[in-house]
Every structure is written in C-alpha cells, then in structure tokens.
Amino acid sequence: MNIVFTARKSSAVFHAIKGNFTGPEDLNLILGKGTRVEVYLVSSDGLKMVKEFGIYGEIACLEPFRPPCIPVNPHSPMVPSGRTGASSGQSAGRQAHPSRSSTRSIDSTFLDPFDLPIDEVTIMSMVFLHGCQRPTLALLYQDKKEVRHVKTYEFDLKNKDKSETGWAQSGLSGARTCIAVPAPIGGFLVVGEYSISYFNPAQTTAISITMNATIMQCYNHIDQGTRYLLGDHKGMLYILVLEISNNAGSSSNRLIPVSGLKLESLGTISIPEALVYLDNDHAFVGSHLGDSQLVQLHENPDEQGEYVEIMETFTNIAPVLDFEVVDLEGQGQGQIVACSGAFKDGSLRIVRNGVGINDRAVLELPGIKGLWSLKENLDATTEDTLVMSFLNSTRVVRVTPDSEMVQEELDGFLSNTSTLLCGNAQAGLLLQVTEGSVRLIAPPQHIQAGLVSEWKPPAGELISIASMNGTQCLVAVGGKTLVYLDIGSEVVKKVGQTTFENEIACIDVNAIDGGDRHASQVCAVGLWTDIKVLLVRLPTMEILASHDLPGDILPRDGNLLTFVLDATLSSLPTPKKISLGTQPVMLRQISAAQAEDGLAAAPGSAAGKSDHVFACSDRPTVIYSSNRKILYSNVNLKQVATVASFNCTAFPNALALVGSDEESVLRIGSIDEFQELHVRTVPVHESARRIAYMSSRKCFGVLTTQIVCDEPETFGTTRIVACDEEEIGFVRLYDDQTFDVLDSYELQKDEAPQCITAVTFAGDPTSYIAVGTADTISEGVPTKGRILILEVSETSKLKLVTELEVQGGVMSVKEFQGKLLCGVNHRICLYAWKTSEKGSSDNNLTLECTHRGFILVLTLAVHGEFIIAGDMIMSMTLLRYTDKKITEIARDSSMDMLTALEAIDDETFIAADNASSVFTLVKNTETTSEDEAKRLQWSGGWHLGDQINRFKHGSLVMANQENDAPAIPKLLFATVSGAIGVVATLTADKYELLHKLETNMSKVIRGVGGLDHAKWRQFRSDQRTLPSTNFVDGDLIELFLDLTEDEVNKVMMGSEGGEAIDVPVAEMTKLIEELSRLH
C-alpha cells in the first residue's frame, strides 16, 4: 500500500496561449503543463504567476475563447468553477484523457456533432479558413505513395453534408503544417521542410519561398495576420512577413491579396513547443526539451547578429530520461543528477532539497569561536557590524556600503578576552558578555560613548553560558546557578536567580509569547547529567515544566528534539526526534527576508523578514515554519560552526557563517529559498541519455548522442541547403563536484548508446563502467550490439579494457552479484569476469547463463538474488539466479509496455507503463496451486497522468528517526514532463484512514470543470481500466492543510456522500504534516 507525492511539479510547456483571463484589462499568458495550468500576468516587470491549478486529465488542447456571456449550465466545460486546492478558474479546450478510439471534444450543449466520411486517410494538418461564405476546411494529406497534397472542402451544416470546392494543389514535398490567415487577408499558409507557400482559393497562383532544410515546430501571429513567428526543431526563431499588394482594395467584402512572402532568421532560442507573441516586442517560448524563455525582439542585431534577447528563463528539467540519487556532499541526504532535455538543449540537472548559500565574500580568519551581528539600534532592519570572538580576544568589524571591512575600537568593549555573547539592547546600547562580566556599552554615535553599566558574578565564579533579548539577559554562573538580569533600563540589574542540582548546558530567552519580541516571561534551560529540559518563569524563577529526554539520547549526538507548547506552558509533551548529523548541534536564531509564499525571498527584495533557526553542525540545517508545519532544509555547506544574520547594504539578505576549524574561513553568503528543490544546470549541448555514478573515482559516466551533419548539399535553382544528419554516440566522464568533462570515448558509426552502469567484478577490486549499445541501421529490433568495459584511470581517463559483440541490442545492464547482467533483445544474459594473470588488458567477459522468453527486454532491476525484467509487450517477469542458472519464478499475465520498474521490497514490485499509469505486483506465496504461484498477483494500480522513465531508491529529505513514522519513503521517480515524485509505503491502518480522507476530500474539493478525481486516478492501459487500488493521492491529501474550517468539518463528517472519519482534526493534521515532510 503506497502513497504518491509530487516533490517537483512538471515543468515542460506543451501549450501556451494569451488572453484576458484574470480581468478584462489584464494581459495573461496561460500555460498548459501536462496536467496543470499556470496563469501569468504580463507586466512591465516581466511575468508574474497569479494562478495555478491542476486538471484531472491530460491537457490535449488549450484555446482561449470569449463567450458573449458566462454560461450558467453546470454541465458546460467552460463554467469557471471547480477547485484544486485554493485555486479555481476557467477551463477551456479538451481536458480529458486522450481517447484511443474516436475523439469528440465538443459539448452537445453548444453543437450537435456529426460525422462525414472523407477519402483521405493520412491527414497531416487541417484548418478552417477565414472570410469564406460557407465553412471551408483546408486539408493537407499524404497518399499511399507518400506524396503530399492539399485540398479544400465546403460544409453545409443545415443538411449535414460536404462538397469538394474543386481547388487543390499536389506535390507539396515536405509539407507539414497549415496556418489559417485571418481576414481580411484570408487564405492559408503551408509550411514545409524546404519551403513556405501561401494559398488562397480566390487567387489563381500560389506564392512560395524556399528556405534551408528545417522543421518548423510551432508558430504564432504577431498582428492581424501579416507577420508570424516560427520556431524550428533546431531552436531557431524566424519571422515570416506577408507582403500585401499595393492594389489591395479597401472594401470589407473582399479579401486583400498577398504579393509576396519574406522569411528572416531572428536568432537562437530553446527548442520550442509553443510560441506566444505577448506585446511590445516580447514573446514567450514554451519548451519541452529545454528551459522556457521570455524574449525580447529587437530591430537591430547584437554583436552576434541576433535579434533576440533572453529576458527571463524558466527552469525546465524535462524530459528526464535517466537519473542517479547520490549524496555528493556527504550530508546523509540524497540529490538527483538527471539526464534532461535533448539535442542542443540537453543538460545534466542537479536537483537537491534545501537551502543554498551563495558566497558573496570569503575571508581567511582562523580560530573564530563566536560570531554575532550588530545593528544601529534594536529596531533597525539592517546589520553593519560583526563581532568575532577568538580564544583570547574579540574583534569588531564594520562593513561599509562598498564592501570594505574596517576594524573598530569601541570604548568600554573588552577586546583582550573572548566573548560569550554580544547583541543589541534598548536605547541603542550594546551588550557584551564575557566569563567575568555582563557589560552595557554605548556605541560611538552616543553622546557619552563607552561603558554604561556592568554586572559581575561573585568572586571566584565565572559565567559559562548566556542568552539575551533586547531587555533581558540570563547567564549560568558557577555551572549550576541561573541568574536573571534586566538590561532594559540602561542598567544591568540582577532580578532573580535559582540553582539546579546539575550543571546548565544551554539557555534560551527568545520571546515565545507572541507579544513583545524584546521581552519574554519564560526561558528554556537544558541540564547536563540527568539530560533534562526545563521551562522557567521570569522573573520568579519558578519551574513551569520539566521533561526528561529519551534514554537513547546522548549529549551532543546530533539529534534534534522538537516540542509543541500549549498556551499555558504548563507541560512539555513528548518530542519529535530528527537526526541532524553526528556531531554537536548549536541552534542560532536567524532572520531572512520572506516572500509572499513564506519562502526566503530573493536577495535585495523588499519582502518582510521572518525568524528561523539555523542548526550548526556537520550537516547544517535551517529549521522554519510553513502552513503550521515545522520544516527542515539542509544547507549546501559541509560544516558550520556558528552563524549570524547579516543583512547589510553591501550584502542584502545575507548570513555570516564560520566553517570548521580546518576550514578557517568567514563566509558571507546570500540565502536561497527554503525547502525548495534547487536545480543546477550543467549544459551538455547534446542529448544526455543515460547516467551512472562511480563513487570510487568520484565521477559520473554519461551516455550522450550528438547530431552532426555531413557536407551540406545545395540543389535547385533557388539554392536550397540540406544535409544528412547523423547521430554519434559518446561516453562522457564528468567530475562529481565541478561537472567538468574529464574524458570522452566515441562510439562506432551507426551505433547508439543504450545503457550504462558502474560495476565491480568478483575477484577484481577495480571498478569499471559497463556500456551497452545497439546498431541503428537495422529496421525494427536491433540485430547486433556491443558490451564495452571501460576503466577510469587515476588521472580520470577512459580506457577500453574489453568489448564483446552480441546478437541484438543491449538495452539494459546491471551489476549483479559481482557479474554483469544484460538485457539483449529477447533474452537476459549473465556475464562473469574472467581475469588474466598477465594483466587487466587480457580480462574479458564470459557468458555464464542465458534466459529467453521475452519480446524485447527494455529494463532490468535486481534485488538480492531476484531479477525483475520489464518487456516491451509482456509486462513484468520475476526471475531468480541460483546454481549458475536464471529461472523464472512468476510473471504478470497482462500485456503492458513498461517504461520503468523497481523492487519495493522482497515481495512487492512496482512498474510504470506507457499509458502513464503505475501498478504494483506481489509474489503469490499463499496459494497451493502451482499455476497460480507462477503468476505475479495484482496488488494495486493508479493513474499518474505522466509517463515515468525511471524509478530509483532514495530520498531527497533527511531520514525520520521515529519508529512510528506514518510512511516510509522508498522510491523516487522522474517523468517525461519533468516531474519528480516520491513513492512511500503505508501500513494497512494508515492506508484505510488516508483512503477514506482522499475520498471525502474529492467530494468536497471539486475538480476543475467538474472532472472526477476517482475516474481520473483509475488505472488504465490499452487493455483494461480498473479502479485505483492501494494507492493514495498524496498531493490531494496535503490540501487538507489549506482548507477552511468549514471545509475541514465537511471532509471529516463525510459530507457530499462520503464517510465520517472518527479521528480528531488535530490528529489528522499532525499526520498530514508528518507525511508532507517526506518530500
């Protein structure tokens, strides 16, 4: 039983339109991203997302329309109602899953559809023409001899009949797309691979221009039909101009004749899937294979001869063909390194969860033990001074607006000793705490600068720990005595004290009352020896609550405990535990600019500020709150000893951090967003197809393909330039830190790389890279391929150790029990490594065993002694390797084409098919029938709505240390549209509870356009449709946290035909909060 979450939403743009969606005067860009719609407002500052909502269907068409009035029929697909989460909006176009039979997307409320047969079978493109008396359709089609023609039909809607107009054109070589030209020009364009032609049945001759060979993938008109933007498969942007005849009449009853066409190249863009001209020479480029872009068109070219300037880039990791989950920074948290994009937009994408610290300044300053930032006064919003404590001294450094660091000498400030604490107090004063005293100091801007007041502990005793806010300071004296000092009246005054049986380990007096942030009526104290946490009332020093920490907690073991406090502060409930590392953790409060969505804002933004907690350790972590949840985000630094907020003029929204003693640096860096999946792009400029990680050499092996052209040929009187494109395969070696290319190995001509893995053979300590290839000249199934074994030298060079030619394409390779497992066409082969005494140059592969019985083995997974095979047609087969033989244990009897599979555990296996569905199978161990035991038993199925290309074991978040975790994350997956998801296993009782919640929520939160959630999540393939079973939609479940109180009550009561849930709302909220931390 599983729950599926989306960790990163799909990023590929498949559809893009513009319209007045959010208001009559608003110009909106609307994007279709598979199963989601995003609405942007076009403004002078760029594009701003104003609405996002999911669709219970895969978007096949997205078109704007302006109805004369808002329809009131609730069954109309155009009604602007329905909701996914907190979003609602109009839904236009066809939104259901594409039918595999005849398709009708017109609602009968508007039109009564009818069928009319035509003789043409292979339709390339068709458009209705403007300015015609009767509905007229231009049809581009291909005949049996693969010759392309265009003709027109007229329709008689009253009599439900059609007729050919008699106009036609033949021999349109390479024609691909028809574009209807709006009235008053009319007619249509036919865009081909070598030419563009304008046709108008009212004109006797066509107008054509030739061009260099290319494939135009999308278009959009700029004005009323005289200029068009065209984007081709190479990522080039063109403008096509229709030249109007000087003899054009002004009558509105006649079409304006076209005298010529003009095509100009504007420059390079991402390979486009959709183009939208917005306004004021700005256009949007939507891409599936690369980043989407907002571009500006210029009249004059730049230095590179380009008329296109990229104004904004929208990260897209689609399509993800393969990925690895690795812990490159040794923080115990995985990150994804993915093969993304294709052709010139191909790239590696490093996807990690957490907070990025971007260095703005790095200084060599060894020996820093403490670090604090100071403001001009307590209520100022920026800091300009850093206080650094060393073993026997303290330095005060001011940072100027020009980023210069100037050392300051403050009257009354002790610089010849180490400092335990420093901060701002009221009235513009500073507080310095050392082992011997607590000092209030007036800075230089005061009239009387210097020491204002001082408190010292009793003779012979020292201060060991201190905590403060703007008006209060608490210090531990002599180890066991807690002293409360008032610092709010420009005098350090002792107010109270108490002594504990054991030494004080830590103190915190940050305000938690929700009122004055510069004063608190309670402080928290941690004790050594009995390992206890106390809440102490101020100023009476009365103990309000006490909690003994769990027996398995060791002092400074890297574990963090969190308590939820009630309003009375009378008790400390059982805490939640999470591991933040293996070394002591020091907690420091920091402030960061906060964006509208609760995440850290961009450096220099005008957003407000919010307090968070920075956990300094060997795995530094930012702890923050969002939607009433405590969340944790790893920081992209290996170790942080101490930290301070430092939002100064030179470095806005920054932190000052000190690394380990070995690093000996002070780092000032800006903060990325919290709990976002950050994406780093490594351009490859060719198609990255497969990836494998070799930990022993700290490098990635990546299979890529590059499109190269033969010598271009010029033919015809118009000098059309064309060339034969050839695909060359490579094995590239990338450094795992810099991602520089270390070495490359070129494959043979007419050979495509198919698979790669890192392997260590039994009896040989050397790690190798194994590569499988297939020939590209065979029609259909490959007839031959190679297995290559490459060694990576200490100097990071690739060396071919051995190669083995096989009969068939090597579609999948896996390391398996010190051997190499290969899927070769219809069979699985296991190869052993034969070593030679003469050296590695004589090592070779020997076939140990083979198992046949497949059509085409596309993917393999291994788990212990088991092998799981995914076939092109015959779904999944489970095999076992024993006694040097591979034997079939069981197989799935369905006929599904699998795109990915993996083992969840010893008994359960998961697979994804080409119909965008996911299902699980289990071994049938309870049956006594031999035939039943040979069939994998259906366990559950669910429709994702996006094709999964790969499953991998791993997680992008820190592991939960609780034994009663509601779900266990098992797998990550990546999809064609660039989504990253998480599959986690559920216990039976948690599944029943969450399934009931899911059902109730789907009845209260209606889908956009009235589409049904249960129907959308049905498992469907080419052969069958089944209700969703043993899967829970985690994305829908998480919306529970955003519901209003009334909606929560409806969900829990089972309104709208659901079933009442007998669980307290607080308990349900807590459960979903815990689940949300899985991604």
Q: Tell me what pLDDT residue 679 has.
A: 92
- Cβ distance 710 to 721 under 8 Å? no
Q: pLDDT tens digit string along 313-350?
A: 999 999 999 999 998 877 667 899 999 999 999 999 99
Q: Tell me what pLDDT residue 114 has.
A: 81
Q: Is the dihedral of CA 108, 110, 112, 114 positive or negative?
A: negative
Tokens of 1006: 């209606």
Q: Tell me what pLDDT residue 1070 has.
A: 85
State which amino acid sits at residue 322. D
- The alpha carbon torsion through 708, 709, 711, 717 (nearest 10 deg) reads -160
- Cβ distance 265 to 259 under 8 Å? no
Question: Distance between CA atoms of 903 and 440, rounded to whole angstroms?
Answer: 64
Q: pLDDT tens digit string along 955-965?
A: 888 665 555 67
Whether a cis peptide bond, with omega within 30° of 0, leads into 683 is no
- Cβ distance 966 to 1074 under 8 Å? yes
**Mean pLDDT confidence for 622-646:** 83
Question: Distance between CA atoms of 322 and 692, rounded to whole angstroms?
Answer: 9
State which amino acid sits at residue 42. V
- In a 3-state reduction of DSSP, which class is residue 173? coil
Q: pLDDT tens digit string along 8-30?
A: 999 999 999 999 999 889 999 99
Label each residue of 330-384 as H, E or C: CCCCCEEEEEECCHHHCEEEEEEEEECEEEEEEEECCCCCEEEEEECCCCCCCEE
Q: Could you write out the DSSP letters of every residue in 975-1035?
A: ETTS-EEEEEEE-HHHHHHHHHHHHHHHHHSPPGGG--HHHHTSEE-SS-EE--BSEEEHH
More confident residue, 658 or 73: 658
Residues 6+ apart with CB under 8 A from 868: 860, 861, 862, 876, 877, 878, 879, 901, 902, 903, 909
- In a 3-state reduction of DSSP, which class is residue 759? strand
- Per-residue pLDDT for 715 more than 50? no
- Per-residue pLDDT for 556 more than 80? no
Q: Tell me what pLDDT residue 959 has.
A: 62
Domains assigned to the chain: 120-268 (2.130.10.10), 358-408+580-673 (2.130.10.10), 416-555 (2.130.10.10)
Span of 294-308, 657-671, 730-744, 905-919 with lowest mean pLDDT: 657-671
State which amino acid sits at residue 71. P
Tokens of 862: 């291994």
Question: Distance between CA atoms of 983 and 410, rounded to whole angstroms?
Answer: 58
Span of 196-210, 756-770, 797-811, 1023-1037 with lowest mean pLDDT: 196-210
- Per-residue pLDDT for 945 more than 90? yes
Q: pLDDT tens digit string along 658-696?
A: 987 667 789 999 887 765 788 999 999 999 999 999 999
Question: Distance between CA atoms of 197 and 764, rounded to whole angstroms?
Answer: 65
- Cβ distance 1014 to 998 under 8 Å? no
- Per-residue pLDDT for 144 more than 70? yes
Task: Give residue 99's pLDDT band: very low, low, confident or very high (50, 70, 90).
Answer: very low
Whether a cis peptide bond, with omega within 30° of 0, leads into 966 is no
Q: Give the angle subtended at the CA of 1019 by the CAs of 1017 and 1024, to the nearest 5°.
A: 145
Task: Give residue 838's pLDDT band: very low, low, confident or very high (50, 70, 90).
Answer: low
Q: pLDDT tens digit string along 591-631?
A: 876 544 444 444 444 345 678 999 998 888 888 887 667 77
- Cβ distance 652 to 644 under 8 Å? no
Q: Tell me what pLDDT residue 89 has.
A: 30
- Cβ distance 580 to 621 under 8 Å? yes
CA distances (Å), origin 1075, targets 94, 626, 681, 920, 965: 34, 14, 29, 21, 9
| Percent of the chain surpassing pLDDT 90 | 65
Query: What is the CB neighbour count within 10 angstroms for residue 539?
Result: 11
Tokens of 103: 């398709």
Task: Give residue 63's pLDDT band: very low, low, confident or very high (50, 70, 90).
Answer: confident
Question: Distance between CA atoms of 16 and 39, rounded to whole angstroms?
Answer: 10
Phi, psi for residue 1039 in degrees, rounded to 5: -65, -15
**Mean pLDDT confidence for 1016-1033:** 93
- Per-residue pLDDT for 1007 more than 50? yes
- In a 3-state reduction of DSSP, which class is residue 1042? helix
Q: Tell me what pLDDT residue 105 has.
A: 42
Q: Tell me what pLDDT residue 961 has.
A: 52
Q: Could you write out the DSSP letters of every residue in 460-476?
A: T--EEEEEE-SSEEEEE
**Mean pLDDT confidence for 175-189:** 93
Label each residue of 5-40 as H, E or C: EEEECCCCCCEEEEECCCCCCCCEEEEECCCEEEEE
Q: Tell me what pLDDT residue 597 has.
A: 43
Average pLDDT over all residues of the chain? 87
Q: Tell me what pLDDT residue 122 has.
A: 92
Q: pLDDT tens digit string along 506-555?
A: 999 988 755 677 889 999 999 998 889 999 999 999 999 999 987 655 55
Q: Tell me what pLDDT residue 984 has.
A: 94
Question: Distance between CA atoms of 709 and 303, rounded to whole angstroms?
Answer: 26
Residues 6+ apart with CB under 8 A from 774: 751, 752, 754, 782, 784, 785, 808, 809, 810, 811
**Mean pLDDT confidence for 750-779:** 94
Pairing between strand 687-694 and 676-683?
unpaired
Question: Distance between CA atoms of 290 and 318, rounded to whole angstroms?
Answer: 7
Q: Give the angle subtended at the CA of 726 by the CAs of 721 and 727, to the nearest 5°.
A: 140
- Per-residue pLDDT for 890 more than 80? yes
Q: pLDDT tens digit string along 226-270?
A: 999 999 999 999 999 999 877 655 444 567 889 999 999 999 999
- Cβ distance 227 to 337 under 8 Å? no
**Mean pLDDT confidence for 203-209:** 87
Q: Is the dihedral of CA 389, 393, 396, 397 positive or negative?
A: negative
Residue 725's DSSP bridge partners are 709
